[in-house]
């Protein structure tokens, strides 16, 4: 899953695109490099990011989705949003996946909306909001509490007859660096739900802060952590660097083939 942020403030400058021709060009490049999905986000969710209005988010993402699909009609677009109305309009425009960082917490209409739309839904674990989550990483039993979170939400989605659910444990969202590595070590425990797992590790602070390097130099560390995530049974990698990640998947597949 290649990341395109239609924002001026996402944490990695290489993912930010605001001109339609640049958005389409990057989507084409990612598709040619082997991306299965293009994830379009119009509201930065980095820690402490400024909140924007729903209308501003729509003004950013809907023209982007429309432009990509006019040029690349076979592209699979994921809409990265926690707002139900944005998700609905994006799907009506042509998106085929909803990627919600809040697990339905920031818009109580989200579960009903995705169930009505019957598109795959990426259910992520987070606490609070992008503005507050950095201070909300105190857990008594982080894996147990996250298991309970996913169990409750998957149950609600199944009650609404949503067919396709993907789990994302939310690296960097209401977790400190040590917790992120602990969760990566035990990521395979979340396979108990029998659902595909997504890992979003690309160029995050658990890499560049630990290595004391700028985010622009975090590709090598990303490849290492993506490889470890694949060993834990991850089905989908959400990344800024598609070519390198596709190569990682290909080599891992050769290695793990019986």
Our answer to whether residue 238 is catalytic in this structure is yes
Query: What own/partner pairs with CB < 8 Å and gap ≥ 24 does 237-240 have?
Result: 237/1, 237/198, 237/199, 237/201, 237/202, 238/1, 238/3, 238/39, 238/168, 238/198, 238/199, 238/200, 238/202, 239/1, 239/2, 239/3, 239/202, 240/2, 240/3, 240/12, 240/14, 240/15, 240/202, 240/203
Question: Domain containing 70 — which CATH number?
Answer: 3.20.20.20
The H or E element that residue 57 is part of is helix 54-71
**What's the number of domains the chain is made of?**
1
Q: What is the pLDDT of residue 17?
A: 66
Q: What is the pLDDT of residue 11?
A: 53
Q: Span 16-27, mean pLDDT?
A: 85
Q: What is the pLDDT of residue 51?
A: 82
- Identify the band that residue 12 occupies on the pLDDT scale cut at 50, 70 and 90: low
- CA-closest candidate to residue 39, choices 244, 242, 246, 249: 242
Per-residue pLDDT reduced to its tens digit, 202-254: 999 999 999 999 999 999 999 999 999 999 999 999 999 999 999 999 999 99
Q: What is the pLDDT of residue 45?
A: 72
Q: What is the pLDDT of residue 146?
A: 98
Our answer to whether residue 175 is catalytic in this structure is no
Q: What is the pLDDT of residue 10?
A: 59
The H or E element that residue 108 is part of is none
Kindly report the average pLDDT of the chain as a whole number.
93
Q: What is the pLDDT of residue 16?
A: 56
Cα separation of 222 and 72, whole Å? 28
Per-residue pLDDT reduced to its tens digit, 103-160: 999 999 999 999 999 999 999 999 877 777 777 789 999 999 999 999 999 999 999 9
The H or E element that residue 155 is part of is helix 142-159
Q: Span 179-197, mean pLDDT?
A: 98
Q: What is the pLDDT of residue 44?
A: 78
Q: Is the pLDDT of residue 9 over 70?
A: no
Is pTM, for the whole model, over 0.85?
Answer: yes
The strand ranges marked E within the chain are 2-5, 38-41, 77-80, 97-100, 121-124, 165-168, 197-199, 236-237
99 phi and psi, to 5 degrees?
A: -115, 105
Active site residue: 127, 204, 232, 250, which one? Answer: 204
Q: Please list the residues that pair with 148 across neighbouring strands.
A: none
Domain span at 117: 2-256
Active site residue: 29, 153, 238, 250, which one? Answer: 238
């Amino acid at each position: 899953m290649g990341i395109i942020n239609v924002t001026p403030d996402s944490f990695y400058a290489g993912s930010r695109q605001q001109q339609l021709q640049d958005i389409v060009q990057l989507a084409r490049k990612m598709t040619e490099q082997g991306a299965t999905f293009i994830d379009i986000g119009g509201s930065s969710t980095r820690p402490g990011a400024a909140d924007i209005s729903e209308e501003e988010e729509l003004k950013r993402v809907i023209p982007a989705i429309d432009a990509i699909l006019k040029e690349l009609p076979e592209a699979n677009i994921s809409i990265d949003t926690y707002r139900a109305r944005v998700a609905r309009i994006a799907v009506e425009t042509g998106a085929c996946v909803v990627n919600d960082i809040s697990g339905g917490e920031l818009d109580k209409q989200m579960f009903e909306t995705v169930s009505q739309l019957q598109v795959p839904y990426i259910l992520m674990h987070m606490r609070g909001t992008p503005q507050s989550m950095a201070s909300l990483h105190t857990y008594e039993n982080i894996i147990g509490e996250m298991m309970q979170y996913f169990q409750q939400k998957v149950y609600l989605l199944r009650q609404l007859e949503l067919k396709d659910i993907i789990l994302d444990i939310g690296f960097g969202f209401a977790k400190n660096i040590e917790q992120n590595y602990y969760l990566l070590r035990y990521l395979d425990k979340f396979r108990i739900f029998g659902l595909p797992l997504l890992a979003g590790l690309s160029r995050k602070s658990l890499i560049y802060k630990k290595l004391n390097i700028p985010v622009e130099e975090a590709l090598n560390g990303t490849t290492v952590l993506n490889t470890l995530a694949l060993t834990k049974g991850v089905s989908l990698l959400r990344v800024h660097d598609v070519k390198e990640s596709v190569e990682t998947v290909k080599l891992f597949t050769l290695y793990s083939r019986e």
